[in-house]
Structure 1
Amino acid sequence: MLKKFNLVIKTISIVGFILVLSACSNGANTTENQAEAKNNSTETRKVSTVMGDIEVPDRPERVVVDWHLGQVMALGLMPVGAPLTLTDYGKFLEPLVSDEMADIGSEGTVSMEKVLELEPDLIITWDQEAYEKYSKIAPTIVYDTTNYNSIHEEI
């Protein structure tokens, strides 16, 4: 009887010790992951644009674009918002566009309310006149269409 009791106590102690270790381990990883995510989201770099130098996220995660959707996607960015009418010009884009990409209107008549709802961390545009409105929402890159060597270079 005493042997059974000792076995039960040892088993409970081992299980308790394992639970304590796993709880401590998961907490440390979560804290490290949260700190790493915060560092990634707060790192910025300076970019020279036609509107002057601006600070943009080093790794933008929520990008809105109002033109040149294909070129932006070719750079590895999947925008959270874009005028879905842009796929009319490039039918090849339709299968590449995420179902989660929000339609922000049509080029030239973008809904600023919709852009604001998407909470972008970067906006890419060609429209210098829209810069003032966009830049109140998020850092905004305006690429110069008069110096049009390559969209890849500009972005």
Structure 2
Amino acid sequence: MHDAANTSRLDALLAGLKASGHRLTPQRVAIVRELVSRADHPSVEQLHAAILPDYPTTSLATVYKTIHLLKERGEVLELGFGELGSRYDGRRPEPHPHLICTACGGITDPDEGGEGLSEMVRQLAAQSGFDVKAHRFDLFGLCARCRDKG
């Protein structure tokens, strides 16, 4: 996502928080900015580490609370990996495919595929009568960098 899209997404998220009566503390703004600017689907710990140089008194709990608030508002997509923890997508909070490297743990979004996946989910629901509330499609393998090392 390029800078203009990041700025637009950041502005929309902050405006929504403010309109719903939530304070826009400098730490909260920094957390949201970091979440929106990153394509790597960071963990709470990674977000915390990224903002600490500028906001050294920010607690890990503050980051968790901000992520929880964004999740409640449907503004962040949580990718849970059991014992490995969760990673978060603040750029595209709607269900879409993820490519997950089993060597380095990197997570990327393919440029295409979200529309086809949504259509497949609609077809499966229609055929089965299943009421789909959410879906997730993860592909596991090796990213180009790890594959080239191998």
Which category describes the TM-score, using the shorter chain as reference length? under 0.3
Q: Which has the higher strand share?
A: 1
For normalisation by structure 2, the TM-score amounts to 0.23
Larger radius of gyration: 1
